Amino acid sequence: MPSQAFETVVSVRDVHKSYGKGQAKTPVLRGVSLEIQKGEIVALIGQSGSGKSTLLNIIGSLDTWESGQVEVMGIDFSKARETELAAMRNEQIGFVFQSFNLLDHLTCIENVVLPASFTSMREKDAREQGMEALRRVGLEELAHRPPGELSGGQKQRVAIARALYNKPKLLLCDEPTGNLDSETGENVIEFFGELNREDGMTLLIVTHEERLSRFAERVVHIKDGVIQSDDASELHDVSKEDSGALAEENAS
């Protein structure tokens, strides 16, 4: 039953990580566990240095950890090969960064189709798919302009188009509205909601903004490398009770 196996998109269990060595060693994650189900929007909230970005990077296979288990979309990171993880980032995970990370020497469309560089897709097909992604974020008319000429909000939409390029199942966003004014940020947040509703995309958004947390259906607070609160615990309990009740009903 593969569909059920993929219900749990992210599974992090008792993950520890620290930076530095010897005396200067500072722990960032101290036994973090987190499960994200398909179709969830999760806001990971914490102050800077709380370990929230590190956790996001570990889930995105961009960072290493010391102990614990990380499994994303059925792939056990500790057992996966480097190429396997790269392919997963290419096809199944989209990243949205605070600083957009667009390459200024390329045009918008070239930035968007960059993920196709690591596949064998034909140039023409890649462009078509890239234009579709730009259309999705409403910027197709700016396709051939360099990102330097765009506003912050437009840049972030190009970056999102790039993240959406391969229609990922999981979108990992690190302070996506951090460099945007509140109105533009609002638009981006709305767009995230749309992606979740229409495409059933799972979103994990790292932020320190309450605004984003109001929008998320599940908020996880992290502090000093430890998860302080997670809305889902109750939710999960509810679902357990529900399924329990259901089982009882079925049994009876």
Q: At 210, give phi and psi (nearest 5°).
A: -65, -35
Enter the DSSP assignment of 38: T
| Site map 150..189 versus other proteins, x via CB under 8 A | ------------x---------------------------
For the sheet with 170-174, list strands across it.
93-96, 170-174, 202-207, 41-45, 218-223, 226-230
Assigned token pair, 6 = 């993929």
> Does residue 238 interact with other proteins by CB under 8 A?
no
Residue 6 lies near other proteins (rule: CB under 8 A): no
Q: Which residues contact 15 (CB under 8 A, 6 or more apart)?
A: 29, 31, 32, 33, 55, 58, 65, 67, 68, 69, 70
Residue 65 binds other proteins (CB under 8 A): no
Q: How far is CA 24 from CA 32, 54, 68, 187, in A?
A: 21, 18, 22, 42
Does 192 sit near other proteins (CB under 8 A)?
no
Nearest CB to other proteins, comparing residues 12 and 232: 12
Residue type, 238: V
Instruction: Out of 95, 191, 192, 215, point to the residue binding other proteins (CB under 8 A).
Output: 95
Question: Should residue 54 be labelled a site residue for other proteins when binding is judged by CB under 8 A?
Answer: yes
- Residue 136's contacts (CB-CB under 8 Å, 6 or more residues apart) are 161, 164
Q: Is 228 in the site for other proteins (CB under 8 A)?
A: no
List the one residue from 3, 82, 148, 198 that touches other proteins (CB under 8 A): 82
Number of residues that bind other proteins (CB under 8 A): 32
Task: Tell the smallest beta-carbon distance from residue 63 to other proteins (Å).
Answer: 4
Distances (CA, A) of 149 to 134, 155, 228: 16, 9, 42
Q: Is 64 in the site for other proteins (CB under 8 A)?
A: yes
- Should residue 115 be labelled a site residue for other proteins when binding is judged by CB under 8 A? yes
Applying CB under 8 A, which of residues 110, 175, 209, 230 lies at the interface with other proteins?
A: 110
Stretch that binds other proteins, among 34-42, 111-119, 213-221, 240-248 (CB under 8 A): 111-119
CA-based nearest residue to 213, from 43, 14, 33, 26: 43
16, 31, 69, 114: residue in contact with other proteins (rule CB under 8 A) = 114
> Which segment (68-76, 110-118, 180-188, 196-204) binds other proteins by CB under 8 A?
110-118
75 binds other proteins (CB under 8 A): no
Indicate the helix (H) or strand (E) that contains 172: strand 170-174
Containing 27, the helix (H) or strand (E) segment is strand 26-37
In three-state secondary structure terms, 18 is strand
Residues that bind other proteins (CB under 8 A): 53-54, 57-58, 60, 62-64, 82-83, 86-87, 89-91, 95, 97, 99, 101, 103, 105-106, 110, 114-120, 123, 162
